[in-house]
Structure 1
Amino acid sequence: MPTLTIGEHDFLLDGRPHRILSGALHYFRVHPDLWTDRIRKARQMGLNTIETYVAWNAHAPAKDTFDTAGILDLGRFLDLVAAEGMHAIVRPGPYICAEWDNGGLPAWLFSTGADAIRSDDPVYMAAVTEYFEQLAPILVPRQAHLGGPIVLVQIENEYGAYGADPSYLEKLVKINREIGLTVPFTTVDQPQGDMLANGSLPGLHKTGSFGSRSAERLDTLRRHQPTGPLMCSEFWVGWFDHWGAHHHTTSVEQSAGELEAMLSRGASVNIYMFHGGTNFGFGNGANDKGVYQPIVTSYDYDAPLDEAGNPTPKYWAFRKVLAKYADLAEHDVPARAAAAPELVVPLTGVLPLWDVVDASDRWTASENGPQATDDIGHYSGFSVYRTRIDVSGPAVLLLNEVRDRAQVFLNRRGIGTLSRDNHDRTLVLPYGASGTLEILVEDQGRVDYGPRLGEPKGLIGEARINGEPVLEWDLLPLELKDVGPVAEHFPGSSPRPVTLLAGPAFAHAVFDLPVVADLFLDTSGWGKGVVWVNGFCLGRYWSRGPQRTLYVPGPMLRSGSNEVVVLELQAAVTPVVSFVSAPDLGHTDF
């Protein structure tokens, strides 16, 4: 069985110099029936290795859960990498960033009593140890010297940008070794002296993360890693998008030139991303460096392989560069993309969100002001707060902090929205406001980078009306991971088309597909909300853009009848379901 080691100047595969030509592909962002296709296209581009993060919170949404089914079947994913004759690099964190919700850390982790995360805190480290023990049966037997594809494992992730706790890193190394991982360990940091120093240990091989000025940054890396192979283990060839901003793209020529510059120096590389995929469901993260910026559903990343798995001009440019350093068969190439089917069907049936709320008995009462949703074990999606008010004259509602978007209703009539990204805290209530005040709060994604990891969601701190605390609140978690009970409310035969969709409300559509194929759902006529197709949550849409379509993977569709459920929070100008021939990820900055 092959063994990868770190030599004086090179990676050594069974003692011979070996260059790692890798591409990032996150199994949890790609439908499992498409894993083989994406892996094969990586090999066809000239890569010999697939890199993936492991998203701890996706596997462990609750403390006593560790899910490895379906899109979370990491073992099957690694087996498919091996079946394609490729190696694998695994980055299990525990923190991964990845523009993923909470940087991959489970939200429940922050209620376990740990004083700190990403540090040598005993409570935190106990949870991390359990996590790696759960990964052990998947990773350990799939190491290359045991017949599997894994040749490298990364310790933590860009730790030098966050902390400087060598004891923490030493204990992570020990945990990884104790579960049975024996392959070489690496770290990654941006090529700055302080980050490279703080983010690694003498026994770990340092690699860099950057997307430009490759020669200069390799020189910096070499000064801090005097021996062994040079490697950029995050070669940024694109970027991610925020709601309300533009769609990021990078120059094909510039990216290909930087790749050539690295390879001509003898460096190894991991292209981030080779194929970005999709933040299905509520998986997207967010940034907050003074302004909260949630990340869009698409993780296309302007990668060589687009969100739907189709080669882009960047793919062919990279293949041309890689052909100088890898044996490529001239005719072993992916097929060109075909246009997706186009069709339009009406939305049929409306179910007000309030009907779902009224049918629930899962309310939690508080007499000390509104609770955070984390306090009741609800870690993602939507929740409803409810209280009774009776005010004479003018009234102003003051909320200490909203995380992340709150739609306010008085007696079920919308009176305004408070948004974290606007730093909104106050709202004028109707004169003489009296009755039931309800607040629909959306968690738009947890911060994935920096000191704001692990922040609780919902309404944070006090709520006041005209300066007086509002103490008595009910809190309802909206469990929308299974939308089946909602779909059951819609008529099954001869439904009437919707002429008006005013949220918050669910709507429904059925469409026939003669042949299964990838689709692109046009959301440009809708406001803000979430879409499910055949029970699978595609993710969020928002009229503020830049993203205007949602990718629908073919394997989640059926030949014949298919079902769409939409939760519209605002209003749909065009109450139809429209599928278009190509994606629209929005305007760019040039």
Structure 2
Amino acid sequence: MPRLEIAADGFRLDDRPFRIVSGALHYFRVHPEQWADRLHKARLLGLNTVETYVPWNLHARRRGEFRLDAGLDLPRFLRLAAAEGLHVLLRPGPYICAEWEGGGLPSWLLAEEGIALRSRDPRFLRAVDEYLGALLPPLLPSLGSRGGPVLAVQLENEYGAYGDDAAYLADLAALLRRHGVDVPLFTCDQPSDLGRGGLEGVLRTVNFGSRAESGLAALREHQPAGPLMCSEFWIGWFDRWGGTHAVRGADDAAAELDRLLAAGASVNVYMFHGGTNFGFTNGANDKGTYRPTVTSYDYDAPLDEAGDPTPKYTAFREVLAKHVPVPDEPVPAPAPKLGLGPVPLTHCAPLLDRADLLGGAVEAARPLTMEELGQDFGFVLYETRLPDRGPVVLRAEDVRDRAQVFVDGQPVGVLEREGREHALAFTVPRPGARLTVLVENQGRVNYGPGVHDRKGLLGRTLVGGREPATWSSRALPLDDLAALPFTSFDPQSPPVGPAFHRGHVEVERPADTFLALEGWTKGNVWVNGFALGRYWSRGAQATLYVPGPVLRAGRNEITVLELHASATRTVELRDRPDLGPTEE
């Protein structure tokens, strides 16, 4: 593929004028067996390019390790894009935001006391150097300069909303160049942040969802010549637990896209296909109140979470046809969905009694953070002994993010970061009673200074005004549930507190489906060992997307971790999603 050039009058490709018409498609939010399908539908929409972030924290969950396999096989994704005739905009971070856990920054960075992320802190830059040194060599054949699909590489991400240190951006640019990136670099920022987030000699682009003329004018003020580009044209939005499902009318979004293209600008539609925050990968926002993002990243995009075209796809295709060539090919019909009805969960395993099978404990004089335990996702279980009986108050200085409290295995209350709750009163039944605190990482903050988001019990934790002499801290990443011994559910003695529930369902022909958990409270779900994500009865999201490739013909296993209690013993596989009530 030809190399992209940045000229005073716009982009050029193979020495011809070129407009980037791109859509965001994150490989890590889509099952790898579905990549080719989503890329094909991108081309049919009329896109000539796709954009993807790269999540450092998934590729390098521990320092010194780096994965580029299975669902993280980025070289394969790039080859598939090229085979479909699509170019690629690559956004490797190191920070990506993306409503993704920690904005893509690996949690092990936070094991360094006082580290300044997204800065010239030598500890941060050394880690970034290691990351780029592992990521980029396998990707160099995919650069446009070497005949590959990658047209350009982004430098940082919306840095102007975070800082204004051009020397930091220059350091990152030098690292990218040193590791072999010889295609154009670009930055992106919202209109008001363009001055702080740019770097001399690097193409600036702008992000917005409306008022295209104003956004492009702001870009032109800071960049008098060169291409005009909106790197994130927001056509929907993400959802948070306890909110409504965000939607944006297809006609409104299409009209704004039309204005943007009529101005001669290039565009990257954010998102073309949102996908899913599988497992524990959702991020969170904290602008005074902590708000975790839901599992679905549907984003009200032209392709929905299951990869089916929506009315927005049709509306956008009609707009694009006015400005760029659109393939004269039929758009694929929605893929078949499974609706198998209720599935009984017949076996269970209590979490607290089996925690030793899920992670080792570390003794210390205080509760250790997840980062100190070398843990990124999941839960941490704290335990100590209470010397006296009678009423007592537990005071936790900083709960990150949700703590369930038990005395001798019996639940006594919950402390939530979102509600700024720090104290809980209960009665200790006997001297030596066991105090257990199960803390859930509900998603590290992905935007603003809050990215320095350590998890667990932070600061001082007092019981009856005193700090216990010793604490046990046990990491529960829940990466592997194979060691759990499940027994038949006994309705006469149901489990108290967090428990895993398991059942099986026969599937004749695997296809996409949606798991509904009516009557369940809060927890996580796995299908055949694949972590689907979180559910929560507070909504808005009421079903979890199950990609067809996760299922197999014959017997399939469903495992639910319920953190509280359920009013039912069944889940349901439905043929349509329920992402909650909307508010346009």
Query: TM tier, shorter chain?
Result: over 0.9
CA distance in 2, matches of 1:331, 1:2: 25
1:121 aligns with 2:121: yes
Residue of structure 1 aligned with 2:308, choices 310, 332, 336: 310
For 1:554, the equivalent position in structure 2 comes to: 548
Identity %: 52
CA 433–242 in structure 1, closer or farther in 2 if over 3 Å, else same: farther
Q: Which segment is superposed worse, 333-342 or 440-449? A: 333-342
For 1:55, the equivalent position in structure 2 comes to: 55
Pairwise CA distance, 1:485: 2.1
The residue matched to 2:483 in structure 1 has which SS? helix
Task: Specify the code of the residue in structure 2 equivalent to 1:163.
Answer: G
For 1:413, the equivalent position in structure 2 comes to: 410
CA 353–102 in structure 1, closer or farther in 2 if over 3 Å, else same: same
Residue of structure 1 aligned with 2:288, choices 287, 290, 304: 290
1:106 aligns with 2:102: no
Pairwise CA distance, 1:496: 6.3
CA 497–248 in structure 1, closer or farther in 2 if over 3 Å, else same: farther
1:424 aligns with 2:418: no
CA distance in 2, matches of 1:525, 1:174: 54
CA 359–122 in structure 1, closer or farther in 2 if over 3 Å, else same: closer
For 1:263, the equivalent position in structure 2 comes to: 261
1:233 aligns with 2:228: no
For 1:250, the equivalent position in structure 2 comes to: 248
* 1:319-375 per-position Cα deviation (integer Å, ceiling 9, x unaligned): 0001112222333312134443232221111111123224467111112x2222211
| Structure 1 consecutive aligned stretches of length 4 or more whose deviation exceeds 6 Å | 496-499
- Calculate the TM-score normalised by the size of structure 1: 0.96
Count the aligned residue pairs: 582
CA distance in 1, matches of 2:387, 2:184: 66
CA distance in 1, matches of 2:146, 2:114: 36
For 1:372, the equivalent position in structure 2 comes to: 369
CA distance in 1, matches of 2:372, 2:183: 40
Query: Which stretches in structure 2 are left out of the alignment for 5+ residues?
Result: none
* 1:506-556 per-position Cα deviation (integer Å, ceiling 9, x unaligned): 110110000010010002221100100001100110001100000000011
- Contact 2:51/2:89 (<8 A) preserved: yes
CA 181–287 in structure 1, closer or farther in 2 if over 3 Å, else same: same
CA 399–222 in structure 1, closer or farther in 2 if over 3 Å, else same: same
Residue of structure 1 aligned with 2:578, choices 559, 564, 584: 584
* 1:8-35 per-position Cα deviation (integer Å, ceiling 9, x unaligned): 1111001111010000000110000000
For 1:478, the equivalent position in structure 2 comes to: 476
Pairwise CA distance, 1:114: 6.5
Residue of structure 2 aligned with 1:573, choices 563, 567, 570: 567
CA 4–414 in structure 1, closer or farther in 2 if over 3 Å, else same: same
Task: Specify the code of the residue in structure 2 equivalent to 1:530.
Answer: N
1:490 aligns with 2:477: no
1:451 aligns with 2:449: yes
The residue matched to 2:102 in structure 1 has which SS? helix
Query: Which stretches in structure 1 are left out of the alignment for 5+ residues?
Result: none
- Contact 1:519/1:551 (<8 A) preserved: yes
For 1:82, the equivalent position in structure 2 comes to: 82
Pairwise CA distance, 1:121: 1.8
Task: Specify the code of the residue in structure 1 equivalent to 2:84.
Answer: E
1:512 aligns with 2:509: no
* 1:125-181 per-position Cα deviation (integer Å, ceiling 9, x unaligned): 111111111112232111123121000111000000001111111111111111111
For 1:26, the equivalent position in structure 2 comes to: 26
Residue of structure 2 aligned with 1:533, choices 524, 527, 538: 527
Pairwise CA distance, 1:391: 2.9
The residue matched to 2:376 in structure 1 has which SS? coil
CA distance in 2, matches of 1:121, 1:45: 43
CA distance in 2, matches of 1:476, 1:274: 40
* 1:423-469 per-position Cα deviation (integer Å, ceiling 9, x unaligned): 11111111656411111111101001111113211011111122222
- Contact 2:518/2:571 (<8 A) preserved: no
Pairwise CA distance, 1:221: 1.0
CA distance in 2, matches of 1:505, 1:361: 16
- Contact 2:43/2:327 (<8 A) preserved: no
- Contact 1:4/1:12 (<8 A) preserved: yes
Q: Which segment is superposed worse, 433-442 or 410-419? A: 433-442
Pairwise CA distance, 1:66: 0.3
For 1:276, the equivalent position in structure 2 comes to: 274
CA distance in 1, matches of 2:374, 2:336: 45
Task: Specify the code of the residue in structure 2 equivalent to 1:38.
Answer: R
CA distance in 2, matches of 1:390, 1:329: 74
CA distance in 1, matches of 2:356, 2:24: 45
- Contact 2:254/2:316 (<8 A) preserved: yes
The residue matched to 2:532 in structure 1 has which SS? strand
* 1:229-250 per-position Cα deviation (integer Å, ceiling 9, x unaligned): 1100000011111111111111
The residue matched to 1:374 in structure 2 has which SS? coil
For 2:146, the equivalent position in structure 1 comes to: 146
CA distance in 1, matches of 2:37, 2:109: 35
1:348 aligns with 2:342: no
Pairwise CA distance, 1:568: 0.5
1:45 aligns with 2:45: yes
Q: CA RMSD in A?
A: 1.6
For 2:207, the equivalent position in structure 1 comes to: 209
Task: Specify the code of the residue in structure 2 equivalent to 1:221.
Answer: L
- Contact 1:292/1:420 (<8 A) preserved: yes
CA distance in 2, matches of 1:22, 1:465: 55
Task: Specify the code of the residue in structure 1 equivalent to 2:500.
Answer: F
